[in-house]
Chains A and B, each alone.
Chain A
Amino acid sequence: MRVTTTVNGTERTADDVWPGESLLYLLRERLGLPGAKNACEQGECGSCTVYLDGEPVCACLVAAGQAIGREVTTVEGLADGQSLHPVQEAFVEAGAVQCGFCTPGLVVAAHDLLARVPEPSDPEIREALAGNLCRCTGYEKILDAVRLAARRQATR
């Protein structure tokens, strides 16, 4: 089947999409956007987190056809050209990136949190990131990165 959807502000079309296919597969394998990562394929790890109509979702749990006519924003859509989004900068500076596999999902989840709650408390950060697993960092540097991004955002 044909799937037409808006991805990072641009209308994209893919043909011969299998109806049982996930939005994650569509993005990575058909539209050339490998930012969202394919790890657990069951919504446990959050590494495929993207925005669907402005809400952070696990792309592996959205059927590709459900995204027809919707707006998808992936981690690739957060940066402004070559300059990283402040959340992305904060992840690099705080050392919140080790192997990097969980990073795109965490960046989208943190981006969503800071858009809703500009100055989150630690429990709010932990709750917002509860659906994103990281097996390298022990999360402390990730929390640092979100706090740093929040501070930067407040002084801008």
Chain B
Amino acid sequence: MDFLQPSSWHEALAIRAERPDALPIAGGTDVMVELNFDRRRPGALLDLTRVGELREWSVEDGGRVRLGAGVPYARVIGELGDRLPGLAMAARTVGSPQIRVRGTVGGNLGSASPAGDAHPPLLAAGAEVEVASAARGTRRVPVADYFTGVKRNVLEPDELIAAVLVPTAAGPQQFCKVGTRNAMVISVSAFALALHPDRQAVGTGIGSAAPTPRCAPEAEEFLAGELDWAARRPLPEGLARAFGERVAAAAAPIDDVRGTAAYRRHSLAVLARRAVTWAWDDLRRAA
């Protein structure tokens, strides 16, 4: 095994092109577990922690945050809670302090686990993943099209994740997940909600309840049509519950060691009902 350590993004892409057998590593919170347990023996590790460009974030024209793939969760929490509240809430639930200073949103996307905590808020916000290769340059993929299967994504063998582009929140966002305790859990189910009052739209993201993270488009459309965006009156009786049922219907969960499919569906309905209740209250208070 080789240890490849580029010091710039340009160099990282060149190495990636030459070494499709190299496994990219950033915070190591997923990759090192695979190595420690002998589950994976890549030809090389491609260490991205020296690539300064990946550790920066900026605000683009149009108000989107361009979050470098190597920004750890601890910095998302500390620096982006106002602009990206949903992602910051999810980041707060990742692992433990030791994990949050190392783990990155880019790494979460690279692993592409259906249980990745960053994925539901990125879906709800309508984010895009920026990937790049030395040969073809940069392309941007909507998060909703990014996941292709359990721990699979659209990355080509010569591509690396550069950044994720997340619209600055125009309204309240929520993230909730169910697990056996608050810290250190892989979620049994997770749900993210974003209200977009500027365009009277709703974004959703479901985690741990389908082969990939996914949205609940029918539930989004239903809720957006029912909410009283103009007067922002209290939620009508039963609306939050009906929304929760539609979110649960969009899931395709399985039974596994962490929970049953039935429990995942049930808990998603509860999480979605609570999320919309909290988010709508926030929006009414802001008015």
Selected contact of A109 from candidates B3, B5, B45, B98, CB within 8 Å: B98
CA–CA, A19 and B37, complex, Å: 15
In the complex, the chain A residue whose C-beta lies closest to that of B32 is A61
Cross-chain contact B28 with A42 (CB below 8 angstroms): no
| Among candidates B5, B29, B95, B101, residue contacting A55 with C-beta atoms closer than 8 Å | B101
Residue A98 interfacial (CB < 8 Å): no
* B5 near A65: Cβ-Cβ < 8 Å: yes
Which A residues fall within an 8 A CB radius of B? Answer: 1, 18-20, 22, 41-44, 46, 49, 55-58, 60-63, 65-66, 68, 109, 112, 127-128, 130-132
A62 to B97, CA, bound (A): 15
Which listed residue (A20, A41, A49) contacts B45, Cβ 8 A? A20
Whether the Cβ atoms of B1 and A130 lie closer than 8 Å is no
Whole-angstrom distance between the Cβ of B211 and the nearest chain A Cβ: 23
> CB within 8 Å of A: which residues of B?
1-3, 5, 25, 27-29, 31-33, 35-37, 41, 44-45, 47, 49, 95-99, 101-102, 182-184
Which of B2, B25, B31 has most chain A Cβ within 10 Å? Answer: B25
Instruction: Assess the B98–A57 pair: CB atoms within 8 A.
Output: yes
CB distance from B48 to the nearest CB of A (A): 10
What is the chain A residue whose CB lies nearest that of B72? A55
Q: Are A62 and B41 in contact (CB under 8 A)?
A: no
Residue in B5, B37, B44, B98 whose beta carbon sits within 8 Å of that of A58 in the complex: B98
Chain A residue contacts of B32, Cβ below 8 A: 22, 43, 60-63
- Distance (Å) between the CB of B111 and the closest chain A CB? 13
* Chain B residue at smallest Cβ distance from A130: B183
Known: A19-B44, A41-B33. A63 touches B3 (CB 8 A): yes
Q: Which of A19, A49, A65 contacts B98 (CB 8 A)?
A: A49
User: In the bound complex, how far is the Cα of B29 from the Cα of A62, in angstroms?
Assistant: 8
B49 touches A66 (CB 8 A): yes
**Which residue of chain B lies nearest to A133 when distances are taken between CB atoms in the complex?**
B184
Name the residue in A20, A42, A63 with the highest tally of chain B Cβ atoms < 10 Å from its Cβ: A20
**How far is the CB of A117 from the nearest CB of chain B, in Å?**
12
Closest to A48 in B: B98
Chain A residues in 8 Å Cβ range of B45: 19-20, 63, 65
What's the least CB distance linking A7 to chain B, in Å?
Answer: 18
Q: Are B1 and A22 in contact (CB under 8 A)?
A: no
Cβ contact within 8 Å between A20 and B98: no
